[in-house]
Structure 1
Amino acid sequence: MLLRLKWDFSFAATMSNNAPRSPVDLLILGAGWTSTFLIPLCLHDGVSYAATSRAGRDDTIQFEFDPHSEDVQPFRALPDAQSILIVFPIKVKGASERLVRLYRETHPASLNTIFIQLGSTGIWDGGPTVRDATHRVPSDLWIDRHSPFDATNDRANAEIELLALSPEAPTTVLNLCGLWGGQRIPKNWISRVAPTKDALKNKGSIHMIHGEDVARAVLAVHRQPAKATGQRWLLTDGRVYDWWDIASAWGSAGVQPRWVRELMTEEGVRALPRDAEKLGRAMDSREFWNTFELEPVRGRLE
């Protein structure tokens, strides 16, 4: 299990915004939830880092990406880095290319830097993190990183644009499923996800990945960029969860568990979790873990 360490922004990579920037191994554009797992892992593994935020809070570098601007000045505040993690979504046409180009123009020593974009598996199924998805892409029961996705989605198009820059500018995309860990506690979602029996009836599968495994995936790409360049990856913890199973275990006493029991009788479900055919969607993320010779360390929800 990942050694839990308090954030230490006295680390050499996080200097004051007016000081010269020392080169770092990893630059995190957009410190937030992901950073609460990634920064401790960097500290534990001896990976130097810098992180940005819009306000420059907690000694991060003040940086805000304007997807429409050609101004290079904001990029001059950033350090040279071997890898750059783009945490925030990009949805504007041309913006992915612009971000990479402006960084490379202002950092000629970092022309081999790999840009890692965090994306969402919602591009395959119209999930909640892809708000402008208008339809679910027809697909087989099982979805993997090679499956067709909604290419009309702005976020997906920005990712396509980013990947097209490879191999001249190394790029990759990590499409993440449901994120949990820290303040994201699955047990707290049941009343919102299943406020009524009808709402619960329509719930099928859910796929999850813990923040610790997201962090491990990012550093795996950082250490072996040649394996990732030009590739889109789908990341889950390797399991298909059943909302009925989760609601039965964690729902309010006498409410969701009772609804699950009634639904199992009505739908002829003998035991939980339901099989993939009844759940209606299953995601296969084996290729990433096999390629980088890793296993998720935080399987199963807690």
Structure 2
Amino acid sequence: MTMTTTVVSKPSEVDILILGAGWTSTFLIPLLQVQDTKYAATTTTGRDGTYKFKFEVDESHKDLEQYEILPATKTLLITFPLKGKHESAHPVNSYMKAHSNSAVNVIQLGSSGIFTIPGQEMWVTRKSKYDTTNARAQAEDELIGMGGAVLNLSGLWGGARQPKNWIDRVAATKEQLASKTSLHMIHGLDVARSIIAVHKNFSKAKGQRWLLTDTIVYDWWALILGFSGQLDEENKNTERENSQIKWIGELMNEQEVKALPRSMEQLGRCYDVREFWTTFGLMPIRGRLC
């Protein structure tokens, strides 16, 4: 999916202000347009009619001017990664100060990677232990403490991001392939739907962290085997394709895996994200990697 039109006007007030019109916005903006939701977006260059904005932590607030030119909004969506303490407070406080301390709901897009810790339980939920020393987790915790909502997204795919094109990188050797177990993904369209749902029902999300996938636990081996017929045309690498298929067969015999996909116990860390979809009355609509 691509943007159907660009942001050509600069309204004084919007429903959603997107700080960082990157990959996510290519799915979010068309959906906002279809739903006739007022929005504005920023880029570092101000391209395509967006607002020019470059995030920096300036304790002296000398960068307040770039916040002042942004429109008033009900929801502030921060798509770029914030890292460490104070990085979340700065854009939120700066925006509020520039707009006469107007209340604003804030959504931050985070990563599910913070839940990758030694000794993690097999089934991981949004309330599971996470790496509190992780710089992104620290920024997210700060935002949550300020009443914001964090969406910890799993692997993003859609558009130019196609999992079948990652195989040579993640499974270049048999040893590397042997270490590949579970994979969790979410399509850009479902990310966009989730953002809008949180925007419309922010009271349900306020001050909380949400873990988000398409509800499917993928098996890397099963995926690679399933993609094998497409790799020749896409990657022009028949030799690697044949090697990977051969390795999967060998590994199944070595590890006594009778069939694919492997069981949840064999795959290890698995994400249980039912709470998000149930709370906001949605289900993902792009739950197949193709």
Tell me how large the CA RMSD over aligned residues is.
1.4
Q: Which amino acid aligns with 1:197?
A: K
Q: Does 1:38 align with 2:28?
A: yes
In the alignment, what sits opposite 1:49?
A: 39
User: 1:59-98, CA deviations, whole angstroms, 9 ceiling, x for partnerless residues?
Assistant: 1100111123422111101100110110011114212112
User: 1:179-215, CA deviations, whole angstroms, 9 ceiling, x for partnerless residues?
Assistant: 0000001111111110111110111101000000000
Identity of aligned residues (%): 50
**CA distance, structure 1, for counterparts of residue 31 and residue 243 of structure 2:** 40
**CA distance, structure 2, for counterparts of residue 186 and residue 95 of structure 1:** 31
**CA distance, structure 1, for counterparts of residue 280 and residue 125 of structure 2:** 16
In the alignment, what sits opposite 1:7?
A: 5
Q: Which amino acid aligns with 2:6?
A: D
User: 1:154-189, CA deviations, whole angstroms, 9 ceiling, x for partnerless residues?
Assistant: 1100111111112xxxx1000000000000011111
Q: Does 1:223 align with 2:200?
A: yes
Q: Which amino acid aligns with 1:152?
A: T
User: 1:243-293, CA deviations, whole angstroms, 9 ceiling, x for partnerless residues?
Assistant: 111111224542211111111111100111101111111001111000000
**CA distance, structure 2, for counterparts of residue 122 and residue 8 of structure 1:** 32
2:135 to 151, 154, 178: 154
Query: Aligned in 2, Cα 1:95/1:109: closer, same or farther, shift over 3 Å?
Result: closer
Could you tell me whether the CA contact under 8 Å between 1:137 and 1:149 is conserved in 2? Answer: no
Could you tell me whether the CA contact under 8 Å between 2:6 and 2:48 is conserved in 1? Answer: no
More helix by share: 2
**CA distance, structure 2, for counterparts of residue 279 and residue 105 of structure 1:** 48
1:137 CA drift (Å): 4.1
In the alignment, what sits opposite 1:130?
A: none
Runs of 5+ consecutive residues of structure 1 not aligned to the other structure:
16-20, 126-135
**CA distance, structure 1, for counterparts of residue 267 and residue 134 of structure 2:** 25
Q: Which amino acid aligns with 2:77?
A: L
In the alignment, what sits opposite 1:86?
A: 78
User: 1:101-154, CA deviations, whole angstroms, 9 ceiling, x for partnerless residues?
Assistant: 11111113731x2100000000001xxxxxxxxxx2432100000001000111
Q: Which amino acid aligns with 1:33?
A: W
User: 1:210-239, CA deviations, whole angstroms, 9 ceiling, x for partnerless residues?
Assistant: 000000000001111101100100000000
**CA distance, structure 2, for counterparts of residue 286 and residue 39 of structure 1:** 26
Q: How does 1:57-76 map to 2 (within 5 A)?
A: 57-69=47-59, 70-71=61-62, 72-76=64-68
In the alignment, what sits opposite 2:269?
A: 281
Task: For residue 24 of structure 1, give the secondary structure of its aligned residue in structure 2.
Answer: strand
The number of equivalent residue pairs is 277
**CA distance, structure 1, for counterparts of residue 101 and residue 38 of structure 2:** 17
In the alignment, what sits opposite 1:110?
A: 102
In the alignment, what sits opposite 2:278?
A: 290
Task: For residue 100 of structure 1, give the secondary structure of its aligned residue in structure 2.
Answer: helix
Q: Which amino acid aligns with 1:35?
A: S
In the alignment, what sits opposite 2:234?
A: none
Could you tell me whether the CA contact under 8 Å between 2:42 and 2:51 is conserved in 1? Answer: yes
Q: Which amino acid aligns with 2:128?
A: S
In the alignment, what sits opposite 2:231?
A: none
TM-score by length of 1: 0.88
**CA distance, structure 2, for counterparts of residue 47 and residue 221 of structure 1:** 14
Task: For residue 156 of structure 2, give the secondary structure of its aligned residue in structure 1.
Answer: strand
Could you tell me whether the CA contact under 8 Å between 2:182 and 2:218 is conserved in 1? Answer: yes
In the alignment, what sits opposite 2:183?
A: 206
Q: Which amino acid aligns with 1:186?
A: P
Runs of 5+ consecutive residues of structure 2 not aligned to the other structure:
229-237
1:5 CA drift (Å): 5.8
1:183 to 121, 141, 160: 160
TM-score by length of 2: 0.92
